[in-house]
């Protein structure tokens, strides 16, 4: 049997759990900060209608999160299974299919939201008073959804590639940036709810670019151009998990 450089195959299980679980938990906690921070600053700077608008827009975040976890966790699990079995080419194809699916699904969700913005907001419970705020907030945050989906799902593949700390940094960087920019845009620039939305998008874009940078420069897995061509068989396995 050939020796492997895969730490998941060689290091003690207890050490691996600490190494991977702690950054993963921190990442999940930090990701929840986006909505909490927006609620706090928008509530102080815009008021009750601003908070109501972010609540109306929240199903969009839930939908995007669901899709990104579906594809991200499914890709990571299948990648590890194939890599552990020594099928590196198959593993790379699964990772590439997952990444491409994340990008495409994020773009599709964003387009659907922007095209059907008013009907969706009404379906999510927007009233006449809340609608203008919800429209301003959601029309801007929709632009960050492709980056949000890529970050949320892509971070699972980064952890699967053996880089849990980098994954945590991706999430934390966007959240910290959002926390800094929220009060600046809402109170300093007096942009109101639009400022909160812009701060959120900037944080998501930065996190997304860090994910892209990882797979372009720092990845351990081998990814070829052909790996990013989605295959129905791999997508079926990803979704089935």
The pair phi, psi for residue 86, each rounded to 5°, is 85, 10
pLDDT score of 87 more than 70: yes
pLDDT score of 211 more than 60: yes
What is the Rg, in whole angstroms, of the alpha carbon atoms belonging to the chain?
A: 19
pTM of the predicted model, to two decimals? Answer: 0.92
Q: What angle do CA 218, 221, 227 make, to 5 degrees?
A: 110
Q: What angle do CA 197, 203, 209 make, to 5 degrees?
A: 135
- Give the dihedral of Cα atoms 213, 214, 216, 220; nearest 10 deg: 170
SS3 68: helix
Provide the pLDDT confidence category of residue 6 given band limits of 50, 70 and 90. Answer: low
pLDDT tens track for 23-49 = 988 888 877 777 788 889 999 999 999
CB-based burial, 133-147: b 16+ in 10 Å, e otherwise: bbbbbbbbbbbbbbb
- Please state which of the ranges 14-28, 65-79, 210-224 shows the lowest mean pLDDT: 14-28
Looking at residue 105, its pLDDT comes to 98
Helices (H) and strands (E) in the chain, counts: 11, 0
pLDDT score of 2 more than 60: no
Give the pLDDT mean for 139-145.
98
Provide the pLDDT confidence category of residue 3 given band limits of 50, 70 and 90. Answer: very low
Half-sphere exposure of 57 (CA within 13 A, CB side): 32
Looking at residue 16, its pLDDT comes to 86
pLDDT tens track for 155-195 = 999 999 999 999 999 999 999 999 999 999 999 999 999 99
pLDDT tens track for 47-76 = 999 999 999 999 999 999 999 999 999 999
The tokens describing 125, both together, are 């419970």
Looking at residue 1, its pLDDT comes to 36
The full set of domain ranges for the chain reads: 18-240
Looking at residue 5, its pLDDT comes to 59
Ramachandran quadrant class, 238 (left: phi over 0; alpha: psi -120 to 50; beta: rest): alpha
pLDDT score of 235 more than 70: yes
Give the pLDDT mean for 142-146.
98
Provide the pLDDT confidence category of residue 203 given band limits of 50, 70 and 90. Answer: very high
């Amino acid at each position: 049997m050939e020796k492997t450089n895969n730490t998941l195959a060689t290091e003690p299980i207890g050490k691996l759990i600490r190494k991977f679980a702690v950054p993963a938990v921190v990442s999940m906690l930090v990701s929840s900060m986006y909505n909490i921070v927006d609620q706090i600053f928008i509530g102080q700077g815009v008021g009750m209608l601003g908070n109501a608008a972010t609540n109306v827009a929240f199903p969009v975040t839930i939908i995007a999160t669901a899709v990104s976890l579906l594809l991200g966790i499914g890709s990571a699990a299948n990648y590890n299974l194939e890599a552990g079995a020594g099928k590196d080419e198959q593993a790379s194809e699964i990772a590439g299919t997952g990444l491409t699916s994340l990008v495409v699904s994020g773009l599709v969700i964003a387009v659907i939201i922007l095209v059907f913005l008013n009907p969706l907001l009404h379906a999510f419970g927007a009233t006449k008073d809340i609608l203008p705020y919800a429209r301003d907030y959601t029309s801007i945050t929709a632009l960050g959804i492709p980056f949000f989906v890529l970050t949320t799902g892509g971070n699972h593949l980064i952890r699967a590639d053996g880089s849990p700390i980098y994954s945590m940094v991706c999430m934390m960087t966007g959240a910290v940036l959002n926390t800094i920019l929220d009060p600046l845009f809402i109170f300093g620039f007096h942009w109101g709810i639009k400022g909160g939305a812009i701060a959120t998008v900037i944080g998501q874009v930065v996190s997304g670019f860090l994910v892209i940078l990882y797979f372009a420069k720092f990845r351990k897995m081998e990814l070829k151009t052909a790996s990013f061509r989605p295959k129905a068989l791999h997508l079926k396995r990803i979704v089935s998990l």
